[in-house]
Amino acid sequence: MKKVWMLLGGAATAALMFIGFFAAASLPQHDVQATALAESTCTPQRTLRVTGSASVVATPDVAYITLSVHTEDKKAAAALEENNTLANKVYQTLARYGVEKKDIRTLDISLRQRERYDKNGNLIARYYTVDNTIQVTVHDLDNLGKVLDAVVQSGANRLQGIRFDVSDRAALLEQARLEAVRQAREQASAIAQAAGAELGDVQTISFQTIAPVVDRGDIMMEAAPKAASVPVSGGQMQITATVQMTFALR
For residue 21, the model assigns a pLDDT of 41
Please give the model's pTM, rounded to 2 decimal places: 0.66
- pLDDT tens for each residue of 42-52: 566 899 999 99
CB 75 within 8 A of CB 150: no
- pLDDT tens for each residue of 123-176: 999 999 999 999 999 999 999 999 999 999 999 999 888 999 998 888 999 999
Q: Is the pLDDT of residue 9 over 80?
A: no
For residue 237, the model assigns a pLDDT of 86
For residue 209, the model assigns a pLDDT of 84
For residue 231, the model assigns a pLDDT of 65
Distance CA 78, CA 170 (A): 47
- pLDDT tens for each residue of 56-99: 999 999 999 999 999 999 999 999 999 999 999 999 999 999 99
Distance CA 131, CA 152 (A): 15
- pLDDT tens for each residue of 193-238: 999 999 999 999 999 888 776 665 544 444 444 445 666 667 788 8
Between residues 17 and 249, which one has the greater pLDDT? 249
DSSP letter string, 50-99: EEEEEEEEE---EEEEEEEEEEEESSHHHHHHHHHHHHHHHHHHHHHTT-
For residue 8, the model assigns a pLDDT of 35
> Beta strands of the chain (E only): which ranges?
47-58, 62-73, 104-117, 123-138, 158-165, 199-210, 214-215, 237-249
Distance CA 132, CA 172 (A): 35
